[in-house]
Amino acid sequence: MNSMHTFIYLASQSPRRQELLKQIGIRFEMLLPSPDEDSESIETPLAQEKARTYVERVTLAKSAAALARWKKSDLPWAPILCADTTVSLPNHPNGEILGKPIDAADAIRILTMLSGKVHEVLSSVAVTLKPDENPMVLTQVSEVQFADLSTEQMNAYIASGEPFGKAGAYGIQGLGGAFIPSIRGSYSGIMGLPIYETQLLLNRAHVSRI
């Protein structure tokens, strides 16, 4: 009989993931990268990398880094949760992964690519059950219809600052939600942490709710 864990470690700085874990009653402690860790390089796509391969690779890399972080600490053991989300225009000739915009011009480029089209949002979540076991990973894929955006709408949205730090240069839970007439999939997955898949993994990890 496996004993229940009363909390997990969350290896993510995303406030949205924190909100979603609180929503399903999971207690968590932060296990964040130290300043000397190069977390940005983990998120650099490889040439012609497919979106699903990318998001799962990044999530597993984050999991390995978080486990190494725990091993250097004197913290008690608890399951470690990592996640990654990417936006994709499948089979796009310029590469199908749309990452976080580096500046306003890049945000315009990304939003122009999404305007009027259906794109995919892929969210992978990984839970490391024990320090000597590989993480369990599940990936959720949603389809998102984007409205046709005018240049004025894009500029106003970019001026709000919301596109920055977000894959695909938008946030569905914020102002960007007004650009999305329909989705097919998981709203929480589009936000960055698919609740259904997360709860499945936490059940397997014997994590209790608050």
Task: List C-alpha distances in Å: 24 to 20, 47, 101, 193, 199.
Answer: 7, 37, 30, 11, 8
Structure tokens at 151: 């240049």
Q: Which residues pair with 123 in a beta bridge?
A: 85, 140
Roughly what angle, to the nearest 10 degrees, separates helices 104-114 and 151-160?
Answer: 130
What letter does residue 26 receive in the DSSP assignment? -
Task: List C-alpha distances in Å: 4 to 8, 63, 137, 202, 204.
Answer: 11, 21, 20, 10, 10
Residues assigned a catalytic role: 84
Burial label, 48 (beta-carbon count in 10 A; 0-12, 13-18, 19+): exposed
Are 100 and 111 in contact by the 8 Å Cβ rule? The answer is no
Local structure of 163: helix, strand or coil: coil
Which helix or strand (DSSP H or E) is residue 151 part of?
Answer: helix 151-160
